[in-house]
Amino acid sequence: MIKEKILVIGASGQIGVELTLALRKIYGNASVVASDLREENELLKGTGPYVSLDVMNKEMLHVQVIRQNITQIYLLAAILSATGEKNPNLAWSLNMQSLLNVLDIAKEEKIHKVYWPSSIAVFGPTSPKKDCPQQTVIEPITVYGISKYAGEFWCNYYHQRWGLDVRSIRYPGLISYKSAPGGGTTDYAVEIFHEALEEKKYDCFLQEDTYLPMMYMPDAIKATLELMEAPAEKITIRTSYNISGMSFSPKEIAAEIKKHIPEFIISYKPDYRQQIANSWPQSIDDSVARKDWGWKEDFDLSAMTKDMLENL
């Protein structure tokens, strides 16, 4: 059996840290090369090899893939929805060129598998708000959503045209205690825990009744690994899979936190991110992922809140 050697690009980010640690548990520390433009995240130090890598430098990336005998690539580097609206050209350039660099090198070096995350941010105001299906009207209004939707079709193209085994998941908003999120509209759902513990209060940048699809990071990591380990013949979606964990509003997560911190109070000061949130679905239909590769979430709002507060 060929020994797998995995390159994680964007390993110091919110998903990258936890995915790198999970992959090292499965494949062994030395078999998972973590890389990022930023310096190594504290949680990764001492757990395996780390290289400084700019995914926009295609030649450098190609050299690393050959030199390290890479057989799988996880590309997690991206500019998210809120930051992307402040710098649309950079968001488009980074989110698209990084993917095109990886897909092209993966084709040339016959990489066994590629993983690239999309997002429920691909859906726009004309998509169904409740139980938004895998296939539906999809008209994103953020640069982040546009880049993720375009990227889905590039993944599908490389699979159809050259047989590249590239797989993808449309993540909901992700909540974790190990690593900070970076520039997303759903980041309030992480900030609120830190503020509740430190300040016993939180000024939320979304309105109280803003329902959004969310997921606890352990479930997102589980889904990613289950998708990547599923037999290729079970994969019927080569753009990107809808998955769902839970949906909640700021009011609901605040009420759940108050069960543990009774004195916690929340106030609402919506900003430009409210318009982004309003354009997304409130809940997602993930029946195709459940059928194709047995997806099922473990955490609901109550279980996540308990686990977050215990670990922070």
Site of interaction with ligand VAH (CB under 6 A): 80-81, 119-121, 144, 171-174, 181, 184-186
The nearer residue to ligand VAH, 48 or 245, going by C-beta atoms, is 245
Question: Least distance in Å: CB of 13 to ligand VAH?
Answer: 11
The nearer residue to ligand VAH, 196 or 217, going by C-beta atoms, is 217
Question: Least distance in Å: CB of 97 to ligand VAH?
Answer: 19
Q: Is the dihedral of CA 5, 229, 111, 179 positive or negative?
A: negative
Cα-flanking dihedrals φ and ψ of residue 268, to 5°?
Answer: -120, 120
Secondary structure element (H or E) that encloses residue 9, with its range: strand 6-9
How many angstroms separate the CA atoms of 162 and 23, rounded? 26
Cα angle: 280, vertex 281, 287; to 5 degrees: 135
Question: Least distance in Å: CB of 32 to ligand VAH?
Answer: 24
The nearer residue to ligand VAH, 49 or 182, going by C-beta atoms, is 182
Q: How many other CB atoms are found less than 10 A from the CB of residue 16?
A: 24
245 contacts 311 by C-beta, under 8 angstroms: no
Question: Least distance in Å: CB of 1 to ligand VAH?
Answer: 35
How many angstroms separate the CA atoms of 164 and 105, rounded? 11
How many angstroms separate the CA atoms of 206 and 163, rounded? 42
The nearer residue to ligand VAH, 151 or 184, going by C-beta atoms, is 184
The nearer residue to ligand VAH, 47 or 93, going by C-beta atoms, is 93
**In the annotation, is 144 catalytic?**
yes
> Residues near 281 by Cβ (< 8 Å), separated by ≥ 6?
120, 123, 127, 128, 129, 130, 132, 213
Cα angle: 92, vertex 237, 295; to 5 degrees: 105
Question: Least distance in Å: CB of 119 to ligand VAH?
Answer: 3
Catalytic choice (50, 144, 211, 241):
144
Q: Is the dihedral of CA 294, 103, 122, 22 positive or negative?
A: positive
Closest alpha carbon to 290 in 119, 131, 114, 156: 131
Q: How many other CB atoms are found less than 10 A from the CB of residue 296?
A: 13
Question: Least distance in Å: CB of 91 to ligand VAH?
Answer: 10
The nearer residue to ligand VAH, 120 or 254, going by C-beta atoms, is 120
For ligand VAH, which residue has the nearest CB? 184
Catalytic amino acids? 144
